[in-house]
Amino acid sequence: MNSKVKYDSWSITVDDLSYACDKWASALFFLGNGHAGIRNRLPLSSGLGLTERGIFIEGVFEYIRRGITDMVNLPDPFDLKLSAGGTILTSCSQLSLCSRSLDLRKGILTTVLAFGGREFRIEQFASHHDRNIAGIRVSTAAYPDVSIEDSFCADVANIPVSDDQKTSNEEVITLIKDAAVSCKGNGIMSLSFSTVCGTHSLTFTKKNRDYICDGTLIHESLVSFCGGDLSCADYEEERDKSAEALSSLWQRRDILLEGASISLQCALRFNIFQLIQNAPSCDISIGARGLTHGRYKGCYFWDTDVFLLPYYLLADRSVAEHLARYRIRNLDAARRVSASLNTRGARYPWMASLDGSEQCESWDTGKCEMHISADVAWALSRYDAAFDLAEDERMAIAEVYAETARFWLSRFTYSSERDCYDLIFVKGPDEYCGVTSNNAYTNHMAILNVCLALRACDEGLIRLEDGEREKFSDFIMKVKRPYSGRLGTILEDDNYLNLEDVDLSVLKESDKPLYWTYDYDTLQRLRVLKQPDVLLLYLMQPSLFTVQEAERAWDEYEARCAHDSTLSWPLHALIAYKLGKEEEAWKYLRKSLFLDLENLMQNTHSEGLHIGAMGASLEAVLYGMLGHAFSSDEKTDSSPQLPDDVSHVSYCFLEKGEFRHRRV
Ligand code: IFM
């Protein structure tokens, strides 16, 4: 592989000057602990734009206009001013050396910079022991012409990214107000500030210590994101406690590929590491880019329910609980979304922030991509099946099933002529389908959702309204199930066969998404998919397909898929595993594991890390390669399908809430 990254089994290094200074490296070397996230730009004093720093805290959103929030780009607690040979470092062009290396086992980032004839070594961590703490240490030979200054920078702003992938926004919005620094003596100072509408008032405390040891000038700084008392805190102690906490987490999270190349093993660990770094610490969800970037205004999508939660079900019960409870706690908000659209029950928003309100501003996606409500119900059913939940939590989940079922009944249109329920004006997971009718994925997921409500009622977890049981049963029987005799499998939607048949290999010559070349109006008229749709349905509900139908679905839809969503490669890997297509699975899995590491979609620099795709890649490993059952339709786990160069895989996973070790 002709790579910008040097791989070791537990670390990645970028030491080519131009790559290490690239924005892609700021994303790649992101440090986080689920509570706080730091996009790792270089310390260019006054050379950084207002929006470049990228410090985020879980759940810290602020209004940018009526009803719409953005994840706040917070003040930078480590505003370094490095000078050497009479110059201050303000631009990458001054650097003669820049090497960055991330130790995945310890969560420590080391950057070595040279300019003005001097070399600086910077070490950073976001604590996995105390999630409110992060630290930085800068060291350099103690020549008289070097200095290290470190303060806060509250001169930051947001640049809200449009929901429309093709529209770039230049407008900067300041979301921080009343920033005030106070010095408390002994190197301790604090920065207090609020977000513009007063939604959050925060204090960052910081403790700096400068000293010379054996001819080396050392600057150490610790920050507490909650204004905690750092007077007795010591940099090395905090760093080591964090490394220890992370190392012990790895004992249960590592997936060891015996015999695999170093780069592959490292890429797998990098993906796992990001799911550790972005796992929330409270009942909150994970944004499509986690805490690594403000893309999609930091919002939570179905990515969490379908592509992240299943990973945590096998890896970390407390994170799975946070994700599930975020949805349960936002049932009322989902009721309000539904009422605002004149439907009944609860409709989960396509893009949600902390309070569960709809944040998607585009009509076709926000109003029509509604499968998320059934995805949430599906995810909660997987959560319920994975753990022995208390009765009151099961009842709360049952309420979600019933309310989302009510939404579906009111959103489908009953045709008395055909005695059938149709879903019109809908967008499926394949977002190139335009606004269509009877998207098979959505219809079948809605049926499953209503079945879950009925089952919960049978179990005595919820009481349905009078006559509702009959209505639900009628709905389940009569929902339109698109099928093509000609294709011999489930049909994506009512429109699919009307679309222009095109040769995808002519349209798409590289991994660059088609939407950069063709308008969505063109794409929605072509028989080209953005990401799996019917094939995803096969993953969620395999019993809807015979073996032959699943094979035909693969032949029809995989060949036409442009993989223009980063979720597409890992999902095709997982689906290929389920169909026993090891070679294809492996081809897709390799691509997805290296997606950000090699910037394969060429948007990691501008969008941050693709956390949803990373979750899906780990699903491909655990539920595909290692054979765990993804859906409740799969009665038993299937046998592992290891690539040729991997002799064994060792890992831990949760079964009925208990960790088990397995070597296959
Ligand atoms: O949820 C996805 C969607 O499926 C494709 N576009 C990007 C979204 C966020 O990752």
- Cα 2 to Cα 6, 24, 50, 263, 598, distances in angstroms: 10, 16, 34, 12, 9
What confidence score (pLDDT) does residue 184 get? 87
pLDDT digits (tens, 9 = 90+) for 204-245: 999 999 999 999 999 999 999 998 999 999 999 999 999 999
Binding-site residues, ligand 1, Cβ < 6 A: 288, 301-303, 429, 431, 565, 567, 612
What confidence score (pLDDT) does residue 1 get? 59
Question: Which of 381, 563, 564, 268 is CA-nearest to residue 575?
Answer: 563
pLDDT digits (tens, 9 = 90+) for 541-588: 999 999 999 999 999 999 999 999 999 999 999 999 999 999 999 999
pLDDT digits (tens, 9 = 90+) for 344-376: 999 999 999 999 999 999 999 999 999 999 999
What is the Å distance from ligand 1's center to 577 Cα? Answer: 22
Residue nearest to atom 9 of ligand 1 (CA): 288
What confidence score (pLDDT) does residue 509 get? 83
Atom of ligand 1 minimally distant from the CA of 431:
5
| C-alpha to C-alpha distance for 172 and 175, rounded to whole angstroms | 10
pLDDT band of 161, cuts 50, 70, 90: confident
Taking residues 590-596, what's their average pLDDT? 96
Checking if the pLDDT of 168 tops 80, the result is no
Residue nearest to atom 10 of ligand 1 (CA): 288
pLDDT band of 33, cuts 50, 70, 90: very high
Percentage, residues of the chain above pLDDT 70: 100
Residue nearest to atom 4 of ligand 1 (CA): 429
pLDDT band of 2, cuts 50, 70, 90: low
Pocket-testing residue among 353, 567, 603, ligand 1, by greatest number of atoms within 8 A of Cβ: 567
Percentage, residues of the chain above pLDDT 90: 91
Q: Which residue's entry shows tokens 């698109």?
A: 482
Checking if the pLDDT of 169 tops 80, the result is no
| C-alpha to C-alpha distance for 617 and 573, rounded to whole angstroms | 8
What confidence score (pLDDT) does residue 48 get? 84
What confidence score (pLDDT) does residue 636 get? 83
Question: Which of 193, 237, 196, 185 is CA-nearest to residue 64?
Answer: 196
Average pLDDT across the chain, whole number: 95
What confidence score (pLDDT) does residue 44 get? 92
What confidence score (pLDDT) does residue 356 get? 96
Phi/psi-derived region of residue 46, left when phi > 0, alpha when psi is between -120 and 50, beta in every other case: left
Sign of the Cα torsion 385, 388, 394, 396 reads negative
Amino acid at site 479: V
Sign of the Cα torsion 429, 433, 434, 440 reads negative
What confidence score (pLDDT) does residue 164 get? 78
Altogether, the residues listed in the chain come to a count of 664
Pocket-testing residue among 292, 299, 370, 431, ligand 1, by greatest number of atoms within 8 A of Cβ: 431
What confidence score (pLDDT) does residue 629 get? 95
Checking if the pLDDT of 621 tops 80, the result is yes
Taking residues 467-478, what's their average pLDDT? 98
269 token code pair:
């660990």
pLDDT digits (tens, 9 = 90+) for 635-662: 788 899 999 999 999 999 999 889 999 9
Pocket-testing residue among 161, 163, 165, 303, ligand 1, by greatest number of atoms within 8 A of Cβ: 303
Q: How many CB atoms lie within 10 A of CB 245?
A: 18
Taking residues 521-548, what's their average pLDDT? 97
